[in-house]
Amino acid sequence: MVSELLKELFPHTGRAFVIGVTGSSGTGKSTLVDQLARHDKSLGRKVGIIAVDPTSPFSGGAILGDRIRMQSLFTDPNVFIRSMATRGQMGGLSRAVNEALLVLDAAGYETLMVETVGVGQDEVDIAKTAHLTLVILVPGMGDAIQTIKAGIMEIGDIFVINKADRPEVFRTEQELEALLSIASREDGWNPLIVKTVATRGEGIKELADAIERYRAFLSDPRRAKRRGVSFFRERLVEMLRDRLIQKVLKQIPEGELDRYAEKIMTRELDPYTIMDRLLRDLGLEEETHD
Ligand SMILES: Nc1nc2c(ncn2[C@@H]2O[C@H](COP(=O)(O)OP(=O)(O)O)[C@@H](O)[C@H]2O)c(=O)[nH]1
Ligand SMILES: [Mg+2]
């Protein structure tokens, strides 16, 4: 049913620009998204916001003040806000986000922002979906260093040092510059660093300009083609994985996985041998030695 709907929508998609916004909780992602949405709205663009962060004011997890501050956005017909706070299994969340993005794209929303918290697989998957990923950091606490450990650096196209009204901004900026200078990207883009004070709207214009620069960079036809092909290739592999696993699980007799699991637990058999057997029984693998 859903896929029938998506099939019909699909020809009307491909116009929206998708921005992933990620970073630790409390770094100011929602506040920034709110500011960026206002900025794009002022350019006459329709804006869609999807908050995956369950603590986000956009998903209703906010303190009262945030809700009041954002009320004008909540009631604006040109701004669509939706939260998807529950994490699904096996890429369920990123699929749900992808589908929501397609619907909004088809409905004519030109800028789509997806707020995610943390650095899980979901965030990385969503970063792949987005045209551009903003990584939000805050000054101090060696946050930049911690973030690189968590593997978030690879996905950032633009790094925002928010809360630039706090001390240690320059040190954080220097650390970040040092980290970025050692990593070189295949596509030749040098990630930009922008400092903001989201609560006061400072640096938002600069951030919006940085976003436009990356957008222009991506619009190069050869680059756009390469990105598009690798994006949809990835989606096909993802869909294939989902569909195949569902098919395969249906073919495995009731209770069989539990029985196998018990054998592994008691060390009667190892999981690798069981995998060979399972695939052979399903006719997915040639006879092997085991
Ligand atoms: N001092 C300061 N506080 C900020 C700034 N941006 C956001 N905040 C505050 O930081 C808190 C967390 O912001 P929020 O946008 O909800 O962060 P999120 O969890 O990353 O979405 C809120 O109380 C904001 O008002 C900023 O630039 N400077
Ligand atoms: Mg938030």
Number of domains in the chain: 2
Domain boundary among 219, 236, 261: 219
Domain boundary among 174, 203, 219: 219
- Say if residue 42's pLDDT is above 60: yes
203 and 282 inside one domain? no
Tokens standing for residue 111? 């800028």
The answer, yes or no, to whether any atom of ligand 1 lies below 6 A from the CB of 137, is no
172 and 277 inside one domain? no
282 and 164 inside one domain? no
pLDDT tens, residue by residue, 91-118: 567 778 888 999 999 999 999 999 987 6
Nearest to 163 by CA among 141, 184, 181, 192: 141
Residue 21 forms part of a structural domain: yes
Nearest CA to ligand 1 atom 26: 163
Q: In this structure, how many other beta carbons lie within 10 angstroms of the beta carbon of residue 136?
A: 29
133 and 260 inside one domain? no
CA 161–ligand 1 middle distance (angstroms): 12
Q: What is the mean pLDDT of residues 134-162?
A: 78
- Give CA–CA dist 213/273, Å, rounded: 52
In ligand 1, the atom with minimum distance to the C-alpha of 62 is 16
Tokens standing for residue 151? 């593997």
What is the pLDDT confidence band of residue 69, given thresholds at 50, 70 and 90? low
CB 42 within 8 A of CB 12: no
Residue 74 forms part of a structural domain: yes
212 and 268 inside one domain? no
CB 79 within 8 A of CB 73: yes
In ligand 1, the atom with minimum distance to the C-alpha of 196 is 27
pLDDT tens, residue by residue, 211-247: 999 999 999 999 999 989 988 998 899 889 888 999 9
Residue 64 forms part of a structural domain: yes
80 and 174 inside one domain? yes
Q: Tell me, what CATH number does 162's domain have? A: 3.40.50.300
pTM recorded for the entire structure:
0.85
Residue 242 forms part of a structural domain: no
Residue 238 forms part of a structural domain: no
Q: What angle do CA 105, 192, 85 make, to 5 degrees?
A: 45
Residue type at 188? G
What pLDDT does residue 83 have?
A: 79
Beta strands 111-117 and 132-137, pairing class: unpaired
Domain of residue 288, residue span: 252-290
Per-chain mean pLDDT for the chain: 85
Domain boundary among 196, 219, 242: 219
Give the mutation target among 31, 52, 206 for probing the ligand 1 site: most ligand atoms within 8 A of CB.
31
